[in-house]
Amino acid sequence: MLVFAIKNLQILFPAPGGVIHAVDTVNLELNAHDKLALIGESGCGKTVLAHSILRLLHGTTKISGEILYRGTDVLSANDSTLQKIRGKEIGMIIQNPGLSLNPVRTIGKQIAESCIEREKMSSVEAFKYAEDMLKMVGFSNPTKIALSYPHQLSGGMAQRAVVALGLTLNPQMLIADEPTKSLDEMSKREIIDLLIEMSKDKTLLMITHDLEAASCISNRVMVMYAGELIEEGPTEEIMNNPRHPYTKGFMNAQPKRGLKPIPGISPSLLNLPKGCRFHPRCSYAFPKCKTNHPELIGRNGHKVRCHACH
């Protein structure tokens, strides 16, 4: 059953000297319990797309297209409808606990606030619920963690607390934005295992540049470059048989795959190249790539935006 869809999403930011094309004509669909990983390097538009889903972008942002949750267009929803969707229907794990956690409030109070406001719990009930949430995400000492401030937690513990916050209202869909970023290997593995367990009965959209996390958690992968999707397909297929030259290069640039950098730099989103956006860095480029923008096409669920692949 279709739960979530993005149709022809375009996100533009006014900037000195022009317009930043942060997200350009993105389409995707998620059925119930789907696990989709959106991967790509920093600055390609992944997080902007994630924040647009709950209308968390700055007021000057220009957004067009549709973001549909169970048939409701989030972009045109009134404040009351949007409030019901945020947290309760779609939860979000925001990257960087240092920015997403309030430094002057205890972890327990931050979780309890949503319960008091949205579920009309008493303060005592909400704090007990916060302890239960912290226990559910793997803390053996939930009361101590609930009484702790963010700066008193390690990076892995703070990320675990952010997961608890995202799950507080038991949303049916979860957006996880770079959930393993800046974590050591042990903490990363713990967060991956936690997300696998916590998202079993949920629809998940994970934003990441971590191939290990994408491989372990998702059943589908989409690859983003310079604001647009350039490849998509089943996770195993993309990981074992990437077709787009950028996808191949991105994977080979990972530490566990040899750290081979892609030549050149990503194009400015203020001044995108004509034709294929990857052609200035692509060893397979031929004249058509410099003038004709390729379509995202394919078969058997594996699509690629590349003239050389068709």
* Domain harbouring 190, CATH code: 3.40.50.300
Question: What confidence score (pLDDT) does residue 128 get?
Answer: 97
Residue 299 falls within a domain, yes or no? no
Question: What confidence score (pLDDT) does residue 182 get?
Answer: 85
| Overall average pLDDT of the 80-93 stretch | 95
| Helix residue ranges, H only, 86-234 | 97-100, 107-118, 123-136, 142-146, 155-167, 185-198, 211-217
For residue 121, the enclosing domain spans 97-170
Question: What confidence score (pLDDT) does residue 95 get?
Answer: 84
Last residue of a domain, one of 234, 251, 267: 267
Residues 122 and 195 in one domain: no
Percent of the chain exceeding pLDDT 70 equals 100
Residues 76 and 118 in one domain: no
**Taking all residues of the chain, what is their mean pLDDT, rounded to a whole number?**
95
Short-list 125, 211, 121, 197, CA closest to 160: 197
Residue 294 falls within a domain, yes or no? no
Residues 135 and 258 in one domain: no
pTM value surpassing 0.85 = yes
Per-residue model confidence as pLDDT tens digits over 180-234: 988 999 999 999 999 999 999 999 999 999 999 999 999 999 999 999 999 999 9
Percent of the chain exceeding pLDDT 90 equals 91
Q: How far apart are CA 116 and CA 125, in angstroms?
A: 9
Please state the domain count of the chain. Answer: 2
Residues 32 and 134 in one domain: no
Phi/psi at 63 (nearest 5 deg)?
-120, 135
Per-residue model confidence as pLDDT tens digits over 148-184: 999 999 999 999 999 999 999 999 999 999 999 889 9
Residues 160 and 178 in one domain: no
